[in-house]
Amino acid sequence: MTMIGTEELKSLFARIAEAMASEKDRLCELDGVIGDADHGIAMELGFAAAAKAVLELDPMAADPTLVFNTAAKSFLNAVGASSGPLYATALMRAGAVSKGKASLSDDDMVEIFSAFAKGIQDRGKAEVGEKTMVDAWAPAAVACRAARDQGLPLAECLAVGLKAGAAGAEATKDMIAAKGRSSRLGDRALGHMDPGAASAVLVISCFRDHFK
Ligand code: ADP
Ligand code: MG
């Protein structure tokens, strides 16, 4: 088992920021259909700000909690859309899981993955089936945890989580939104994937790729 330190977390944020930049247009297009077309911009701005802020942390002084808390603050300051407080809460929860640890174990990473999902759910009060990013995050976290309980290594747990998250995002196409901007559309939202669920799959795939 390898321990995950602050430098590795910094490069995880750089990876997510890169993914959001390259998928920005697709996320804006998805949001354009059932929202206000800014989701790609929000996610790119948020993770770019987070990646930049954590990169600037002193490697000698920063622990994983400081990395996640710094990312949370920067994300919140950079994003005016509803994804801002949702991901900021996810990142703060990751910081709380890391508290007092100089580096993170595979079990800690699984815990952090669950804390992300729980933070988003607690903050936005959305349940599975309401056509939000929770439809990707919640099943991903459950599947990841279940895989870990069966003794699978972190990389496989994240791969299982990604598969469940992608299936959850796909399922949002058949949902009517009950939370967020698209809830005003009623059944006109049918047939379209929720942009927040789509970006959640991207974030999860960055986790998977990073810990391969
Ligand atoms: P805004 O709707 O303010 O423009 P974004 O476009 O950045 O914000 O994000 C939209 C996404 O936010 C939606 O696709 C949905 O996944 C997610 N979302 C909105 N409200 C909630 C909520 N209460 N709980 C979880 N996710 C939500
Ligand atoms: Mg939007």
Q: What is the pLDDT of residue 93?
A: 98
Question: Which residue among 20, 30, 39 has the greatest number of ligand 1 atoms within 8 angstroms of its CB, and so is best to mutate?
Answer: 39
What is the pLDDT at residue 67? 98
CATH code for position 31:
1.25.40.340
Computed over every residue of the chain, the mean pLDDT equals: 97
What pLDDT does residue 124 have? Answer: 98
What is the mean pLDDT of the segment spanning 162-187?
96
> For 49-53, 68-72, 176-180, which range has the lowest pLDDT when averaged over its residues?
176-180
Nearest CA to ligand 1 atom 6: 39
What residue owns the CA closest to ligand 1's atom 20?
A: 180
Is residue 154 domain-resident?
Answer: yes
**In-domain check, residue 201:** yes
85-136 per-position pLDDT tens digit:
999 999 999 999 999 999 999 999 999 999 999 999 999 999 999 999 999 9
What mean pLDDT do residues 172-201 have? 95
- 112 part of a folded domain: yes
**Mean pLDDT within 51-60:** 95
Residue 165 has which token pair? Answer: 């998250």
Using the predicted structure, report yes or no on whether residue 59 has a pLDDT greater than 90: no
How many CA within 13 A on the CB side of residue 88?
19
Number of domains within the chain: 1
**pLDDT band (50, 70, 90) for residue 1:** low
Residue 16 lies in a domain: yes
For residue 2, is pLDDT > 80?
no
Residues with CB under 6 A from ligand 1: 31, 35-36, 38-39, 42, 81-83, 86, 120, 124-126, 132-134, 179-181, 194-197
Classify 131 in phi/psi space as left (phi over 0), alpha (psi -120 to 50) or beta: left
**In the structure, what pLDDT confidence band is assigned to residue 60 with cuts at 50, 70 and 90?**
confident
Sign of CA dihedral 208, 153, 112, 72: negative
With respect to residue 81, please indicate whether it lies within any of the assigned structural domains: yes
Q: Is residue 1 part of a domain?
A: no
Tell me the residue range of the domain where 125 lies.
6-211
